[in-house]
């Protein structure tokens, strides 16, 4: 095994054109026999090239991936998923409007077993997500059941409706605790569209749902009223959702959490 890892590491080093320091150190940890775990100091001019090479070498075995660095490394990760067909179960990345075109090819469909996707962002500046959210919906494979958007995304009711139109994933867990401007209409629409699968919806305690919306949003909401699943207004945390067109009911849970 050590010889195989050494060969892989040698190939990895060969493709790096700006490697300035390479040091082996004794590491008494669990993977002490792995040459790659003894790497102490590496300075590279292109992190993206290194990341791409690493993902290529582990494409057949990698199941859990978390990349929370720069916008460039997110693009590299998305491209690598499509290029090397990474068979991931869970993925955590940072995402914003700049990745709209990277998502157009629906790269996550190359992960047929992807079950959990966690998205975050850089800093606390609000992100207008009216373009990227619908594209994200198209990008989710039908295997995804757990989606977290841990970023200050802002999106209109119409954008959310388009996202849900595009989304074929049977979401059971949907966390939007850091999203801004979430109203009662957003919450109602989510429960209506994900009625058959959704079990937990996580929203912010600091920014609780309200009925405030602009005229355009009100018009869009009115058009959905005849098919809306009605939430229990006397209990915003748990209860049942019911359809005006079907004699069905489903227990639900809306959890408000602190962002502290």
- Say if residue 134 is in the same domain as residue 66: yes
For 218, the token pair is 């009100």
- What pLDDT does residue 236 have? 40
Asked if residue 70 has pLDDT above 80, the reply is no
- Say if residue 128 is in the same domain as residue 209: yes
- Residues 15-54: tens digit of each pLDDT: 776 666 555 444 444 444 445 545 555 555 567 787 888 8
- Residues 141-153: tens digit of each pLDDT: 999 999 999 999 9
Higher pLDDT, 23 or 157: 157
Query: What is the domain-level CATH number for residue 232?
Result: 3.80.10.10
CA distance 19 to 45: 8
- Say if residue 12 is in the same domain as residue 108: no
Mean pLDDT confidence for 202-220: 51
- What pLDDT does residue 228 have? 32
- What pLDDT does residue 245 have? 37
- Say if residue 51 is in the same domain as residue 41: no
Higher pLDDT, 78 or 234: 78
Asked if residue 219 has pLDDT above 90, the reply is no
- Say if residue 18 is in the same domain as residue 74: no
- What pLDDT does residue 211 have? 40
- What pLDDT does residue 1 have? 55
Domain total of the chain: 2
Higher pLDDT, 31 or 71: 71
- Residues 181-190: tens digit of each pLDDT: 999 999 999 9
- What pLDDT does residue 95 have? 85
CA distance 206 to 80: 37
- What pLDDT does residue 150 have? 93
Domain span at residue 90 reads 47-257
- Say if residue 104 is in the same domain as residue 131: yes
Asked if residue 106 has pLDDT above 60, the reply is yes
- What pLDDT does residue 43 have? 55
Q: Which of 100, 108, 94, 192 lies closest to 143, judged by CA?
A: 108
Please report which confidence band the pLDDT of residue 124 belongs to, taking 50, 70 and 90 as the band edges: confident
Token pair 């490394």 is found at: 73
Q: Is 197 left (phi over 0), alpha (psi -120 to 50) or beta?
A: alpha
- Say if residue 242 is in the same domain as residue 126: yes
When the pLDDT of each residue in the chain is averaged and rounded to a whole number, the result is 75
Mean pLDDT confidence for 112-128: 89
- Say if residue 34 is in the same domain as residue 126: no
In 10 A of CB 118, how many CB atoms? 18
- Say if residue 39 is in the same domain as residue 70: no
Range with lowest mean pLDDT among 23-32, 107-116, 143-152, 201-210: 23-32
E-state strands within 59-186: 64-67, 90-94, 116-120, 127-128, 146-150, 153-154, 173-175
- Say if residue 175 is in the same domain as residue 90: yes
Higher pLDDT, 72 or 213: 72
- Say if residue 32 is in the same domain as residue 143: no
For 229, the token pair is 């699943």
- Say if residue 99 is in the same domain as residue 175: yes
- What pLDDT does residue 218 have? 41
């Amino acid at each position: 095994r050590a010889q195989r890892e050494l060969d892989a590491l040698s190939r990895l080093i060969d493709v790096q054109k700006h490697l300035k320091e390479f040091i082996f150190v004794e590491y008494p940890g669990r993977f002490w026999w792995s040459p790659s775990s003894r790497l102490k100091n590496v300075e590279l001019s292109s992190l993206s090239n290194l990341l791409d090479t690493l993902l290529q070498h582990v494409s057949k075995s990698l199941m859990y991936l978390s990349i929370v660095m720069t916008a460039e490394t997110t693009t590299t990760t998305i491209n690598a998923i499509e290029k090397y067909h990474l068979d991931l179960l869970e993925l955590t990345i940072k995402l914003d409007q700049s990745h709209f075109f990277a998502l157009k090819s629906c790269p996550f469909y190359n992960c047929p077993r992807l079950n959990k996707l966690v998205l975050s962002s850089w800093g606390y500046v609000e992100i207008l997500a009216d373009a990227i959210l619908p594209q994200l919906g198209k990008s989710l494979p039908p295997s995804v059941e757990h989606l977290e958007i841990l970023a200050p995304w802002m999106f209109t009711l119409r954008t959310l409706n388009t996202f849900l139109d595009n989304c074929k994933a049977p979401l059971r867990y949907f966390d939007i605790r850091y999203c801004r401007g979430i109203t009662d209409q957003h919450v109602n629409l989510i429960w209506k569209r994900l009625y058959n699968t959704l079990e937990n919806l996580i929203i912010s305690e600091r920014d609780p749902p309200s009925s405030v919306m602009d005229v355009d949003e009100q018009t869009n909401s009115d058009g959905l009223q005849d098919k809306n699943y009605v939430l229990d207004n006397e209990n915003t945390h748990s209860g049942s959702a019911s359809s005006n067109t079907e004699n069905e009911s489903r227990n639900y849970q809306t959890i408000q959490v602190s962002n502290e």
